[in-house]
Each structure stands twice: as structure tokens, then as C-alpha cells.
Amino acid sequence: MSDEIGKKKLGRGLSALLGDNVAADYSELDKIRTSKDVPVEQMHPSPFQPRQDWDQEALQSLADSIAEKGVLQPILVRRDPKDNGLFEIIAGERRWRAAQMAQLHKVPVIIKDLSDVDSLEIAIIENIQREDLSAIEEAEGYRRLADEFNYTQDILAKQLGKSRSHVTNIMRLLSLPVSVQKMIRSGDLSAGAARAVITADNPEKLAKKIVEEGLSVRKAEKLAQKKPSNRARSASVPTKDQDTLALEGDLSAAIGLKVSINHHAERGGQIIISYEHLDQLDDICRRLSRHVTGESVEDEAYEGDMSSALDEDFH
């Protein structure tokens, strides 16, 4: 990671990154800068956006509003680094999608010269501050900021106005099996109930039971605390202390995979990282290797490994 990136301050939002004295929701940008109309086919989503899921019903509602009133809030774009004739959407992809549904051929935009690093930071910060993100998307945003800008959970919590426990608990969801994460994305499993199954012997089985029976968070927690009676197992596996469990949770949150610590007072111990498929193994190897070699975010920006889709309510 370069010195420039390492010194970047998180949480500045658009008002600082754009160099304008604007409100946090950047709704005054069009009053400060003149917008111009750009054909929708000359625009495309940013590769840096964490948004993955789109509510089609909400998009249609926005499209109906745009068809009647037009796009009231200009879309923030930058020129495509690889094709100067195209524009990359930094903020406002939802409006762009809805405008196409409303059969608009052009939309108002504000063009800003932004680096890949600034575009990435804006996309993540603006998304994780939205209320309609799924807990998994929020967690992925936190992990992305931690990976790309080398921020600890304490710094993330402080700069984003979240509690340290909130950041930790949300990021721990990434240690759950992919199938359980899909339940959270779809809204079938709440984040509270999901946190209860993280330490379960079979998180997927327990999550399915919670969803199928419509259990409350409290009932889910009680169910997760029930361990199968096995005296032999109890005798051979010592109970972990709270410090060890807390450390397991922190490590799981940091790397997004389940981590188990087996500590033996007199003979050291083991840290076990569990993965479900090769993609997860490749991801953890890549991120660990990058920390060792000091690879910068610019070096990785063109690998095509970025999530997509910034969702904005303003139009």
C-alpha cells in the first residue's frame, strides 16, 4: 500500500473528496456546478460499487416518478479511465437504471475528476451509510475499507459513527457459510438471528430451522446455545475462555472466514481457518500475500475483482 493511500482519512464522504462545500448527501452539488445532459448509453456502473442486489419494485416506482418529473438530482460521474468517450457512474446508478426504464435517452450529470482510490472510497462509504443495505453488503463494505485502506475496526467505528461492537458483529457475518449469507441478503434471516448461529456446530442447519420456523432472535440464541450431549467430547475438548472466543470473533470478522483457536498453555496451539471452496482460499491467500508484499490498491484495481452497484435514493 502506498504512503498516499495509507495516509488517506476515512469518512470524509463526498463533501471533502470533491473539494466542494456541500452537504453530506451532496444534494446541493447541482447548485454549485452546472450539470450537463449525457446519453444513458455512454454511461456505465463503476466497478468499485459494493451493491449487488436491486429491488425491482422500488426501481419501477422511481422510474414512474422520473417519467413524470425527470431526474431531479444529477448523477455524479467521472470519465472512464480506459475510454474518454464514456462515463463511469460514481453516485446515482439507481437513478440511471430507473431513467432507462422510463425510456429517457439523456440524464443530467456532474463530471468530476476522481482517482480510482477516491472513487472506491466514495462508493463504499456512501453505500454503507445507507439504511437499506443488507447486513452482508454492509459487512463487505467494512471489510473492503479495512483491506484497501488498512483501517482497524476501531478506526472504522470511529470514522463511520458506529460502535466498535456493531462493526465487529456485522463483519463476523462474513464467516458464515455462503448459503447462510444468501439467507441474510434475501432478508429471510435477520442479522440478529444470524449472529446467534455463528458459533453453532452446524450454522447452515440451524439457520434453516430458524427461517422455516420463523424463530425470534431470542429463541435463535437459546437454540444456538444448546450443544449436543457428548460426554466423551466434553472430556477431550476443554471449554474455551471468553478471551479466546473474543479473539476468534475478531479474527473471523477481519478475514471473513470462520477461525478457531486451540490454545494449550504449555505447548502453544493452533489457529485454524475454515473455507468452503477454492474461491475463499484464493481470496484469503491473496489478501494475506498483499499485506506481506505491500501491494497497493492501484495494483489491484484493474483485476476485475470489484463488486458493483451504488444505490441512491435521490433523483
**Structural domain boundaries in the chain:** 31-114+126-132, 176-225, 242-288
Whether 75 contacts 96, CB under 8 Å: yes
Active-site positions? 93
Digit-coded pLDDT (tens) for 156-175: 888 778 888 898 889 999 98
pLDDT at residue 231 is higher than 50: no
Span 98-120, pLDDT tens digits: 999 999 999 999 999 888 877 87
Average pLDDT over residues 76-100: 90
Q: What is the pTM of this model?
A: 0.58
Residues of the chain by 3-state class (helix, strand, coil), percent to 5: 50, 15, 35
Task: Give 201-205's long-range contacts (Cβ < 8 A, gap of 24+).
Answer: 201/227, 201/228, 203/176, 203/177, 204/177, 204/179, 204/180
**DSSP 8-state symbol, 237:** S
Output the pLDDT for position 238.
Answer: 56
Residue 4 host element (H or E): helix 3-6
pLDDT one-digit tens code per residue, 279-314: 777 777 777 776 555 554 334 433 333 333 333 443
> Domain 31-114+126-132 - what CATH class?
alpha beta
Could you report the per-residue pLDDT of 50-60, keeping only the tens digit for each? Answer: 666 677 888 89
Cβ-in-10-Å burial (0-12, 13-18, 19+) of 127 comes to buried
